[in-house]
Amino acid sequence: MDPIIARLEDTSQAVRSDALDICLRKGDLEVLNALAQKVNNFDADQTRRYTITVLLQENNTGAAIERCREMLDDPRGEGRYYALTTLTKIGGIEAIGILADQLKRSEPTQRIQIIDALGEMTNDRAVLPIADCLTDPDNKVKLLAIEVLLYHKRQDLVRQPLLEIFNHADGEERLQAAIALARIGEHCSTEYLLAMVDDKDATIRQRLLAMAGLRAAPDPRAVVKLIELLKNPEEQIRNGAISSIGQMNNEKATITLLEYMDRVPTSAQCGMIKNFGKYKVSRAKVAVMKRLTVEIPVLRALAAEAMGSIGGKDAVPALIPLLDDENYIVRRAAAESIYLLAEDTKITDIIIQHSKKEQDRYVLALYAKIIGKIGNMNYPYVMDSLLRLLDNPNELPVRQSVIEALKKVTGNDCGSTVEGWKNWWSNHKPQD
């Protein structure tokens, strides 16, 4: 931490400010003590931020909240964002009250920041001041309040304000209202969105946003239109349709995407693979299996996960090589799918061998579950492997899975200690 402390005396204001931010985020006593020697060099905002961090370290929340209020009230201060994020972390009725009061006397840009802060709080009471913004004279503020309330699943509060914006606003604001109305199942905006995606006078961005709205629309015409756009001569529109369909909960639309899979960006392929797995689209197996060997880890992982749902005799053999993948997320996905699909005891040897070199505890836990599912205590090395995995007191997820596996392969419960299971095995182990 010494180099960071030293940067507090840098000649550059920006460097000093960044260094202080790093120190305050760390916030332990050693750092705060070091900062105490530098506090005379801080400006007003920096002093307040330091003081707030110390007060929180001392559990003096009330005083910390009061300092945050001072930062919010100071029109010359640059610490508003710090005060907002701190109040968000503190939460509670007093913090919500300060932010609600600020909403009533701030300009639109500041109200947007405050709504964001309230929206991140887990306290249900934070919804109330956000709901008050549904009558805000600024439509941007109102639309953000609607977005946050939708995130908190308060559709009951937003329908009427959305209809007012949709019926009276124009341009971008009307489009945003139409998308939000589609999300809450209102049919009235579908006609507008359908027309927007075909509007040659609209910008590409507006047409893509309209497609995003259609993917949530309850009207069956939305799916038909998005499928139709897959043949649009404009590449951006085609890709937008693929992306929107890939995020829809619609099996027919998902299957339609199969022929386009090799022609779309990685992000679109990710959505498609997820849906192929979700709907167990067996005809997509070849395309999904092809992604098991691509260079992009996220595609390999998603393909491995999807194979666990799609299944088939060739699924497990195709997943086995991924147990040696350099990316632990890919190995986890492959092991999870093998666990779901494994029925043949012949792969027990493969799993045992991989368990000897695997370092990721979640993959090891899955290996134990696989052995417990298909293994037999009389099968060579099954018990030895499980007892070896159990003899690791620092890996709780592994131990829990191993104990369950031991119960399954032996039909007994010898507790949670490796000694208890070793003693049982020494008395029941088949004699050569």
- Identify which of 253-257, 337-341, 393-397 has the greatest average pLDDT: 337-341
Residue 412: CB atoms within 10 Å: 13
Arithmetic mean of pLDDT, 151-171: 87
Taking CB atoms within 8 Å and a gap of at least 24, the contacts of 12-17 are 16/41, 17/46
pLDDT of residue 154: 87
| Percent of the chain scoring above 70 in pLDDT | 87
Question: Of 313, 323, 267, which Cα lies nearest the Cα of 292?
Answer: 323
Instruction: Specify the amino acid at residue 430.
Output: P
Lowest mean pLDDT among 51-55, 82-86, 279-283: 51-55
Q: Is the pLDDT reported for residue 353 higher than 90?
A: yes
Handedness of CA 408, 410, 412, 413 (dihedral sign): negative
Q: What is the pLDDT of residue 96?
A: 92
pLDDT of residue 378: 78
CA 63 to chain CA mean position, Å: 34
Query: What is the C-alpha to C-alpha distance for residues 74 and 60, in angstroms, rounded to an integer?
Result: 22
pLDDT, average across residues 145-168: 88
Q: Are 120 and 90 in contact (CB under 8 A)?
A: no
Half-sphere exposure of 244 (CA within 13 A, CB side): 28
Whole-angstrom distance, CA of residue 253 vs CA of residue 219: 14
**CATH code that applies to domain 154-244:** 1.25.10
* 135 touches 161 (CB < 8 A): yes
Please name which of 85, 71, 6 lies closest in space to residue 43, comparing C-alpha atoms. Answer: 71
Contact 292/303 with Cβ under 8 angstroms?
yes
Q: Comparing 385 with 7, which gets the higher pLDDT?
A: 385
- pLDDT of 40 reads 55
pLDDT for the residue 394: 58
**Gap between the Cα atoms of 73 and 94, Å rounded:** 16
pLDDT (average), residues 174-187: 87
Q: What is the pLDDT of residue 43?
A: 61
> Is 416's pLDDT higher than 70?
yes
| Range with the poorest average pLDDT among 94-108, 241-255, 357-371 | 241-255
pLDDT at 346: 85
The pLDDT assigned to 432 comes to 59
Number of H-type helices and E-type strands within the chain: 27, 0
Query: Would you tell me how many other CB atoms lie within 10 Å of the CB of residue 268?
Result: 22
Arithmetic mean of pLDDT, 314-320:
95
Instruction: Give the tens place of pLDDT for each residue, 19-43.
Output: 766 666 655 556 556 655 555 555 6
- Cβ–Cβ under 8 Å, residues 85 and 113: no
Average pLDDT rounded to a whole number, residues 300-316? 95
* Strand, helix or coil for residue 248: coil
Asked if residue 352 has pLDDT above 80, the reply is yes
Compute the average pLDDT of residues 287-298: 95
Task: Classify residue 228 by its DSSP letter.
Answer: H
**Among candidates 28, 22, 27, which has minimal Cα distance to 3?**
22
Say whether pLDDT at 77 is over 90. no
Contact 371, 353 (CB under 8 A): no
Dihedral, CA of residue 333, residue 339, residue 344 and residue 350, to nearest 10: 60
In Å, what is the CA distance from 329 to each residue of 295, 322, 401?
14, 10, 19
Q: In the prediction, which pLDDT does 3 show?
A: 67
Per the document, the length of the chain is: 432
The per-residue pLDDT of the chain, averaged, comes to 85
How far apart are alpha carbons 422 and 81 in whole angstroms?
58
Q: Which of 15, 14, 35, 10 minimizes the C-alpha distance to 25?
A: 35
Confidence of residue 306 (pLDDT cuts 50, 70, 90): very high
